[in-house]
Chains A and B, each alone.
Chain A
Amino acid sequence: MSIPRQVTRPNPSARSLARGLGWFSIGLGVVQLVAPRQVARFIGMPGSDGLIRACGLREIATGVGILLADDPKPWIYGRIGGDALDLGCLGWSIEHGREPANAAIAAGAVAGITALDLGCARALDAERLPLTEWDFGDRSGFPSGTAQARGSVEPEFAAARAEPNGYPPAQLH
């Protein structure tokens, strides 16, 4: 009889999303590192180059962490914390900054990414829940065993019938 067992499995979709978020982190971090002045000006916080660079370093660190770790979940939580900080800064900029409209656009984008981060974290968290997995290793379908079934059919016989128009009408009925 086939045997059920309790197992935990990685969720490939969540892992794949995590990898995507990791690369996104690194990409955003590089932009913040190499062009902090432009980023700061866009969100209406000129003169905050140091803060933007720090954010860039944080993004790169979490991105690398996600891509290298066997379990990316803590790093995804790290991204969620970073998202909260970013939203706080952007909120301040909407209220007090020089480019409230740009800051609002950026806040919207960060909110979207935060939703992805939260979804990813939730899916990764669910990996610890046990699933029932069946082992069907006893279901060969060959009553006399696989070894005996191997090569038991004349392949030419089967292939001849598979030919388009290759099955003589006399044999049909």
Chain B
Amino acid sequence: MRALRWHGKHDIRCDDHLPDPTIEDPRDAIIKVSSCAICGSDLHLYDGFMPGMKHGDIMGHEFMGEVMEVGSANKKLKVGDRVVVPFTIVCGECEQCRRGNFSVCERTNRNKDIADKVFGHSTAGLYGYTHLTGGYAGGQAEYVRVPYADVGPVVIPNGLTDEQVLFLGDIFPTGWQAAAQCDIQPTDTVAVWGAGPVGQFAIRSAVMMGAEQVVCIDNVPERLSMARAGGAITINFDEESVVERLAELTRGKGPEKCIDSVGMEAHASGSLDSMYDRAKQALMLETDRPHVLREMIYVCRPAGIISIPGVYGGLIDKIPFGAAMNKGLTFRMGQTHVNRWTDDLLKRIQEGQIDPSFVITHTVSLEQGPEMYKTFRDKHDGCIKVVLKP
């Protein structure tokens, strides 16, 4: 089969003649991928910021397709089913899964020992996302082995296109969970940093949940125009002060709810703290650049909520925790508990409340994947979301 594989920093190749995956456990299924996508968090691997990748690892955790083979113990799926596969691998049986905390499933990370050492306790296994999360082969491939396939995959009913449902596996529930964690009230201003794909879904989710106003902060004109289309007021941080504009929009009180859809690779041109982060990163004294986190803590209204769907990987520095503590801020974060949301969101797509395909700007073949990583990373050609067709 063909697949996009990681060969080092900025080196992703479409490799051919790879062995097809096989059933390894009776609960497994083999999926023939019909559509997959490049996620913003894949760029952290592309840019070499996440440790734990190995030469030849198959990339990708947003994918869907047709079930080709099912293990003997899998009673949920049958050959021919069309499924979207959540990026978190879940067993459905451990204590965390039974509480709905799917992204911290206690059983699916095959490299639990490494994760325990790095994070204190292991989180769930993820597809194509380092050996810290199990080293599972990813979905930017023709075929994928799906472990615990009797729990995670979402069977898609007829009548919906790949483009409408593909993002149920990650970015749609991620944006949704980010907004839901904010406990949105009708009088709330929700500020969303980052108008990438997760930010776009967080904006639409906050609008649907009835926020009085949703404000989006970014500096890419195309992304800002898409954010406005979804109902957001936009702030281009290259053109105006985020702090001053947010104060103006909230009568000087600050937004009640702040969402960080940026994560570890914040690009804040010209701010002193971002220059400091870059210098420390270059000296390997800091892994992540938390400019957005600092700004959110500063502008958030006291007793507000900070929701963090953006991915952080390691150590951050100079966080104004005194401000956070004294303002009584609540922090809610984490990888998405995808299966908490999929039934409800699938129903909303079916009912025509939302069509997630709005975010797709590029659809290309798997062979064009490596060059699209660069286009997506550099935000060239109006690129917001890339879908690959293996």
Query: Which A residues fall within an 8 A CB radius of B?
Result: 2, 4, 7, 9-10, 12-13, 15-16, 19, 132-144, 146, 149-153, 155, 158-159, 161-162, 164-169, 172-173
Contact = CB atoms under 8 A, between A and B. Distances in A.
20 contacts: A2-B382, A10-B238, A15-B270, A132-B382, A135-B222, A137-B226, A142-B230, A149-B204, A150-B208, A152-B208, A153-B205, A158-B179, A161-B340, A161-B341, A162-B183, A166-B100, A168-B100, A172-B92, A172-B97, A172-B98
B34 to A, nearest CB: 22
A173 B92 contact: yes
Nearest to A142: B354
Nearest to A152: B208
A19 to B, nearest CB: 7
Most chain B CB atoms below 10 A, which of A12, A19, A133, A155: A155
Q: How many B residues touch the partner, as a band?
A: 35 or more
B6 interface: no
Contacts of A169: 98-100
Interface in B301-346: 332, 337, 339-341, 344
Contacts of B269: 12-13, 16
A166 B340 CA distance: 10
B101 A150 contact: no
B118 interface: no
A143 B160 CA distance: 14
Interface string B172-199: 0000110111111110000000000000
A133 B221 contact: yes
A158 B205 CA distance: 10
Contacts of B359: 139, 141
Interface string B346-389: 00100011111011010000000000000000000110100000
A143 B340 CA distance: 24
A165 B97 CA distance: 9
A132 B229 contact: no
A142 B92 contact: no
Given A141-B230, A151-B186, A133 B100 contact: no
Contact of A167 (B99, B204, B205): B99
B210 A140 contact: no
Nearest to B210: A151
A139 B208 contact: no
A135 B98 CA distance: 44
Given A13-B269, A149-B207, 4 more contacts: A136-B225, A142-B204, A149-B231, A161-B341
Contacts of B341: 161
Interface in B76-124: 92, 97-101
B281 interface: no
Nearest to B341: A161
Q: Which residue, of B92, B354, B359, has the highest number of chain A Cβ atoms within 10 A?
A: B354
Given A12-B270, A136-B225, A172-B98, A141 B332 contact: no
Contacts of A162: 177, 180-181, 183, 332
B229 A137 contact: yes
A141 B356 contact: yes
A139 B100 contact: no
A144 B208 CA distance: 12
B226 A136 contact: yes
B219 interface: yes
B209 interface: yes
B46 to A, nearest CB: 21
Q: Which 8 residue pairs across A and B have the least CB separation, nearest first?
A: A167-B100, A134-B382, A151-B210, A16-B270, A141-B358, A136-B226, A162-B180, A158-B180
Nearest to B220: A133
Contacts of A140: 229-231, 358
Contacts of A13: 269-270
A161 to B, nearest CB: 6
A164 B101 contact: yes
A159 B344 CA distance: 13
Contacts of A164: 99, 101
A165 to B, nearest CB: 4
Contacts of A132: 381-382
A155 B354 contact: no
